[in-house]
Structure 1
Amino acid sequence: MPRVFTALAVLLLLAGCQTATPNTAPLIPTLPPVALTDLSIVTGQTVFVPAYAEIFYGSDDDTLPLTTTLAIHNADPRHTIVVSSIRYYDTDGTLVREYVETPIELKPMATTAIVVEPPTTSGGWGTNFLVEWGAETPVYAPVIEAVMVSRQGTEGVSFISEGRVHDGNHALRSARL
């Protein structure tokens, strides 16, 4: 009888140590595309969001890979915003990827996200996003942030990096909007 309990305890412990299955969700949820020629954009911003594909720890340049989620929250309860560009840059400032092929519409109070998972550490430790958005009417600015997470065994690390306005009212000058 004690052997049965021991075997059951070992099986439960081993089951708890399994690694999570990879996320098979699309990099950006399917949102309605928008034809910018049909819009009259009056406000918008370019937002800089610092992010990290890996962080240093210990000595000897040891790094911990991170999963980065860029979240864009439309904070306006009544008006839609249009996201026209999400660009991901590496540590050297080189464009790695443009995530928006066609501008997307983000309904009031809606959120969209992009997930950059390890081993996609091609960006290095100091990656960045530039997000361009606009609206046809004055709106509350969206909340744009990067959430970095890593887990190894029973330990984990997570932190948030808030976006900073890089350029206000870019929509009035930008060729993209």
Structure 2
Amino acid sequence: MKQCRRLILLVTFWGVMLAAGQLAFASQAASEIVLSKGQAVYVPIYSHVFGGDTELPFYLTATLSIRNTDPNSPITILSVNYYDSKGKLVRRYLKHPKKLNPMASSHHVVEESNKRGGLGANFIVKWKSETKVNEPVIEGVMIGTKSQQGISFISRGRPIREKTDSK
């Protein structure tokens, strides 16, 4: 019974967090449309979350979703790299660049059994286009089930400045 209460509390907490994130995104999306010829995008990924006083891990399956939102132009996904909580490269998901046609999507899965990423895992997705296009929507979708209860939430990617050599 105690485990069930913890799980309900955890699901409620993440449901509220998801709703708050959606509201924040809606206000930002309504205010500006950004065109770009390419970016490096950081996407937080949660291989697990904690619940209860004893910090019991709740393991999750994570799906990285990449959606070309431009109705006219393709984009090219240059790399999809998965990093652990310490910033160490865990896996390169692409061997070669991948073209995404207008309005097409692609995904990559980190299985629930894959615990190498840890709580602070992330993807860095690099993409480019020949012309300025609508920014793709790049998200992490986390989902897990336990004892007839489920949890799911998203994390949105955000463009970052790439590491540069400084002299």
Deviations 1:51-106 (A, max 9, x none): 10011111223101100000000000010000000010011111000111100000
> Which of 112, 115, 119 is residue 118 of structure 1 equivalent to?
112
2:71 aligns with: 77
Matches within 5 A, 1:48-67: 48-67=42-61
Report the structure, 1 or 2, having the larger helix content: 2
> After the TM superposition, which segments of 4 or more aligned residues of structure 1 sit over 3 Å from their partners?
none
Which protein has the larger Cα radius of gyration, Structure 1 or Structure 2?
Answer: 1
State which drifts further: 52-61 or 63-72.
52-61
2:86 aligns with: 92
Once the two structures are TM-superposed, the CA of residue 43 in structure 1 deviates from its matched residue by 1.7
1:131 equivalent to 2:148? Answer: no
Question: Which amino acid counterpart does residue 154 of structure 1 have in structure 2?
Answer: Q
Question: Which amino acid counterpart does residue 56 of structure 1 have in structure 2?
Answer: F
Question: Which amino acid counterpart does residue 39 of structure 2 have in structure 1?
Answer: Q
Question: Which amino acid counterpart does residue 148 of structure 2 have in structure 1?
Answer: T
What TM-score comes out, normalization by structure 2 length?
A: 0.74
Deviations 1:140-167 (A, max 9, x none): 1100000000012321000000000103
Question: Which amino acid counterpart does residue 135 of structure 1 have in structure 2?
Answer: S
Structure 2 unaligned runs (5+)?
1-35
CA distance in 2, matches of 1:107, 1:43: 15
Task: Report how many aligned residue pairs link the two structures.
Answer: 129
> Which of 98, 108, 118 is residue 102 of structure 2 equivalent to?
108
CA RMSD of aligned residues (A): 1.7
Once the two structures are TM-superposed, the CA of residue 121 in structure 1 deviates from its matched residue by 1.1
CA distance in 1, matches of 2:157, 2:112: 22
SS in 2 for 1:146: strand
CA distance in 1, matches of 2:73, 2:132: 9
1:159 equivalent to 2:150? Answer: no
CA distance in 2, matches of 1:119, 1:89: 16
Matches within 5 A, 1:9-20: none
Deviations 1:88-138 (A, max 9, x none): 001111100011110000000001000111110111111100000000111
1:13 aligns with: none
CA distance in 2, matches of 1:167, 1:79: 24
Question: Which amino acid counterpart does residue 162 of structure 1 have in structure 2?
Answer: R
